Structure 1
Amino acid sequence: MKLVILDRDGTINRTGDEFVKSPDEWQPLPGALEAISRLNHAGFHVVLLTNESGLGRGLFDMAAFNAVHSHLIKKLAAVGGRIDAFFYCPHAADEGCGCRKPWPGLFSQIAERYGVDLTGVPCIGNSLSDMQVAEVVGCVPHMVLSGRHPEWLGQALPPGFPAGTQVHADLAACVDHLLGSEKGSRLTLTTTPT
């Protein structure tokens, strides 16, 4: 089975200091939805995995959370793509759960649901915790710089990132790389040893 695990905020959609609390606040990053569609058409199952501490902190409720994902699904369907499953941690950071990234709980749920070993599965995100948990569970960490750190383009990643982290300008560039496109713009960057 061909599987890709995606983070949401900063990987698929714009992110800021505030949580995405409504469909109106959810704005896809340029080329991200089309990139997911390309993965689907290449035979990949795409799952979304996201920390949603705003639920645990009472900043929005499940109805709002589901409305955001319904909006994402509709926008993605309009370009011929789909997310096969959504996995999320609803806990606040101080609740001590095992599912909040960088803990591997949600990854275990993905492996169980699909009956697969996650070794070698691409995990695409835009944060240190995304990359750290990817390494722990055996996924290949792919860092996209479109969400939080576009200034790292062409630079070495800060300390703490797994040595095998592959760096891409955005989700579209990452998908170019994964699909072996000649126009892929994967960046060869070094990581600072930890």
Structure 2
Amino acid sequence: MRRQCLLLDRDGVINVDSADYILEVDEWNPIPGSLEAIANLTHAGIRVAVCTNQSAVGRGMLSRETLERIHRRMREAIIAAGGQLSGIFFCPHAPEARCACRKPSPGLIQQALEELGCATDAALVIGDSRRDLEAARRAGVEAWLVRTGNGRATEASLTDGTAVYDDLASAAEKLLREINSPEPAP
């Protein structure tokens, strides 16, 4: 089946991650090539959405209003690069809340798939951490890892043959080649 949806983690995949969280609009900085990758995927007809844990909200470190401003900046940067997001799905809960939406639980991915009207076998998750991969697995969606953000550390612990790419740009190139290659005859 042709890929219809791409669900991306935010911090470490689209933008530079921080151990101290992204708490202000000016702390959100795209990883080189990530915005153009989203634009290329958008132009290829793939619906791109973000699925991100944002526990700084639940910890009282970040207001929902500031998070919305950060997401507005991200959307504007993607639009300026020629791309589009079909949605931003986030878990605002702290880990101790034990909610169903915080990755590695599958709830956030399931919510995105439902709202986007995308089947699990037509979706792909790209993340930089074990929790992204695990959430995708639990939701029944294939996942790829990027080496940006926490990706290099995560790659060192992989034992399951997960596809690994240097960054979102190289993963997008592979996905676009996959889309543009002729399907095998039955």
Scaled by the length of structure 2, the TM-score of the pair is 0.89
Amino acid at match of 1:166: A
Residue in structure 1 matched with residue 162 of structure 2 by the alignment:
165
Shift of 1:120: 4.7
Q: Report which stretch shifted further, 51-60 or 137-146.
A: 137-146
Whole-Å separation in 2 of the counterparts to 1:168 and 1:39: 16
Amino acid at match of 2:93: H
Whole-Å separation in 2 of the counterparts to 1:9 and 1:169: 15
Residue in structure 1 matched with residue 75 of structure 2 by the alignment:
73
Q: Report which stretch shifted further, 30-39 or 112-121.
A: 112-121
Whole-Å separation in 2 of the counterparts to 1:164 and 1:140: 12
Q: Give the gaps of 5 or more residues in structure 2.
A: 179-186
Amino acid at match of 2:88: F
Residue in structure 1 matched with residue 8 of structure 2 by the alignment:
6
Are the aligned partners of 2:4 and 2:122 in contact in 1 as well (CA < 8 Å)?
Answer: no
The 3-state SS of whatever aligns with 1:180 is: helix
Amino acid at match of 2:72: S
Of 67, 81, 84 in structure 2, the residue corresponding to residue 82 of structure 1 is: 84
Of 101, 121, 124 in structure 2, the residue corresponding to residue 122 of structure 1 is: 124
The answer on 1:175 being equivalent to 2:172 is yes
Structure with the greater relative contact order (CA < 8 A, sep ≥ 6): 1 or 2? Answer: 2
Of 14, 19, 22 in structure 2, the residue corresponding to residue 20 of structure 1 is: 22
The 3-state SS of whatever aligns with 2:48 is: strand
Whole-Å separation in 2 of the counterparts to 1:51 and 1:57: 12
The number of residues matched between the two structures is 176
- Percent sequence identity over matched residues? 36
Amino acid at match of 1:82: Q
Scaled by the length of structure 1, the TM-score of the pair is 0.85
Q: Give the gaps of 5 or more residues in structure 1.
A: 182-194
The 3-state SS of whatever aligns with 2:20 is: coil
Are the aligned partners of 1:49 and 1:86 in contact in 2 as well (CA < 8 Å)?
Answer: yes
**Mapping for residues 131-146 of structure 1, pairs under 5 Å:** 131-146=133-148
Q: Cα deviation per residue 1:25-57 (whole Å; 9 max; x = unaligned)?
A: 000001000000000000000010000000000
Whole-Å separation in 2 of the counterparts to 1:115 and 1:48: 15
The 3-state SS of whatever aligns with 1:64 is: helix
Are the aligned partners of 1:6 and 1:48 in contact in 2 as well (CA < 8 Å)?
Answer: yes
Whole-Å separation in 2 of the counterparts to 1:65 and 1:57: 13
Whole-Å separation in 2 of the counterparts to 1:114 and 1:149: 27
Whole-Å separation in 1 of the counterparts to 2:171 and 2:60: 34
Amino acid at match of 2:62: F
